[in-house]
């Protein structure tokens, strides 16, 4: 007797794991992932970041070990964030040749050469006493043009130190053009720019601010320069502007609440599209899993796969090491 409803075509292809693997439309791979790493000046042992379980502030030495281990797991791209021991009004640590990220970049470049893609976040918020991503004018607002001069210096310092890719994350107008020009006129025309083009003023950066020890002065926020999460079309304008100014790759950040934006950007451009699965996205998985409310490995894989399915070619994620261990284990 034939069944009332014959098995549908999609169901027929779902029957076994091997069949599901054969027809999968999206295949996550270690090559897609970039590991964000923190390096702190003036410490002699790594310090755990409580709000990002499993992530630490590295010493220069422990960072070297970490990046080598990541490379052995197939994670061949990292992005560095620095925590300086002193901060000032203009964020000098961001461009000082002896600044912590510059030192870490040269350590890693001498250890690994071109074996790993070395990226550096290019912003001043970790280095400024007020915690903003730019230089403040006399009224406490960010002065866009004064900030661009500092970004240009930071780009040159990072490239001199060995960065393959600089990643401006401050959402200043004109930042990509100014950085491209500064790199080109200082012998670094081969250094790439990954632009944080569509970066939203998200509540999901909370754990990151603990990781880099940043408090915005007076309980302020970044809504004056980062994007309003109610807007998606606006993201396309930002992306177009960055590509026109010379961005080699563009980024949407955060990732999961912005899958529509990732998909729209993917449709619009031909350059690689990155998405940042940010600190809060990671911490939510860790916290719920620690409570036994969700299965860590399933949800983590689901998140990363969804980001790729939406159209991201590159995913910056604190889950990179875990994924490398999972797939090499
Ligand atoms: C700015 C920067 C931030 C993040 C990456 N680069 C913080 C911010 O804009 O406040 C957040 C990353 C995360 O939450 O994982 N330098």
Q: pLDDT tens digits for 264-315?
A: 999 999 999 999 999 999 999 999 999 999 999 999 999 999 999 999 999 9
Q: Is 41 in the pocket of ligand 1 (CB under 6 A)?
A: no
Q: Which pLDDT does position 218 carry in this prediction?
A: 82
- What is the average per-residue pLDDT within 248-255? 98
d(CA 123, CA 179): 12
Q: pLDDT tens digits for 177-231?
A: 999 999 999 999 999 999 999 999 999 999 999 898 888 888 888 898 999 999 9
Q: Which pLDDT does position 130 carry in this prediction?
A: 93
- Whether residue 84 contacts residue 41, with contact meaning beta carbons closer than 8 Å, is answered with yes
Q: Which pLDDT does position 48 carry in this prediction?
A: 97
> Per CATH, which fold does 29-327 belong to?
TIM Barrel (3.20.20)
153 is catalytic: no
pLDDT higher than 90, residue 4: no
What's the chain's Rg over C-alpha atoms?
20
Q: Which pLDDT does position 220 carry in this prediction?
A: 84
Residue in the block written with tokens 């910056």: 316
- What is the average per-residue pLDDT within 115-121? 98
Q: Which pLDDT does position 2 carry in this prediction?
A: 66
- What is the average per-residue pLDDT within 125-145? 93
Cα of 218 vs centre of ligand 1, distance in Å, is 19
286 is catalytic: no
**Bridging pattern class, strands 47-48 and 117-122:** unpaired
Cα of 208 vs centre of ligand 1, distance in Å, is 6
Ligand 1 atom index nearest CA of 318:
15
Q: Which pLDDT does position 297 carry in this prediction?
A: 98
Spell out the domain ranges in the chain: 29-327
Q: Which pLDDT does position 51 carry in this prediction?
A: 96
Q: Which pLDDT does position 1 carry in this prediction?
A: 57
Average pLDDT score over the chain: 96
Q: pLDDT tens digits for 72-109?
A: 999 999 999 999 999 999 999 999 999 999 999 999 99
Backbone angles phi, psi at 259, to 5 degrees: -65, -30
Q: Nearest to residue 264, comparing CAs of 240, 233, 218, 302?
A: 233
d(CA 172, CA 152): 12
Q: Which pLDDT does position 311 carry in this prediction?
A: 98
Nearest Cα residue to atom 5 of ligand 1: 169
């Amino acid at each position: 007797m034939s069944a009332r409803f014959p098995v549908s075509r999609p169901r027929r292809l779902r029957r076994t794991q091997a069949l599901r693997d054969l027809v999968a439309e999206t295949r996550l791979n270690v090559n897609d992932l970039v590991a964000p790493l923190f390096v702190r000046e003036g410490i002699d042992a790594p310090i755990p970041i409580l709000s990002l379980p499993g992530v630490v502030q590295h010493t220069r030495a422990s960072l070297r070990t970490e990046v080598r281990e990541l490379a052995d797991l197939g994670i061949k791209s990292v992005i560095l964030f620095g925590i300086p021991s002193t901060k000032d009004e203009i964020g000098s640590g961001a461009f000082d040749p002896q600044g912590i990220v510059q030192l870490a970049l040269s350590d890693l470049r001498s250890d690994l050469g071109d074996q790993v893609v070395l990226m550096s976040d290019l912003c001043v918020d970790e280095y400024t006493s007020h915690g903003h991503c730019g230089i403040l004018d006399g009224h406490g607002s960010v002065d866009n043009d004064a900030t661009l001069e500092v970004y240009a210096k930071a780009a040159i310092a990072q490239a001199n130190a060995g960065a393959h890719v600089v990643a401006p994350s401050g959402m200043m107008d004109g930042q990509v053009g100014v950085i491209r020009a500064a790199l080109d006129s200082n012998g670094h025309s081969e250094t790439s720019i990954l632009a944080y083009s569509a970066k939203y003023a998200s509540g999901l950066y909370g754990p990151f601010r603990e990781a880099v020890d940043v408090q915005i002065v007076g309980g302020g926020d970044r809504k004056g320069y980062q994007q309003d999460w109610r807007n998606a079309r606006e993201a396309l304008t930002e992306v177009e502007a960055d590509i026109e100014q010379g961005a080699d790759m563009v980024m949407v950040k955060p990732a999961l609440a912005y899958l529509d934006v990732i998909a729209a950007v993917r449709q619009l451009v031909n350059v690689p599209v990155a998405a940042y699965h940010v600190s809060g996205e990671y911490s939510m998985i860790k916290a719920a899993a620690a409570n036994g409310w969700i299965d860590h490995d399933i949800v983590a894989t689901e998140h990363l796969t969804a980001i790729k399915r939406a159209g991201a070619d590159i995913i910056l994620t604190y889950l990179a090491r875990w994924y490398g261990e999972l797939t090499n284990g």
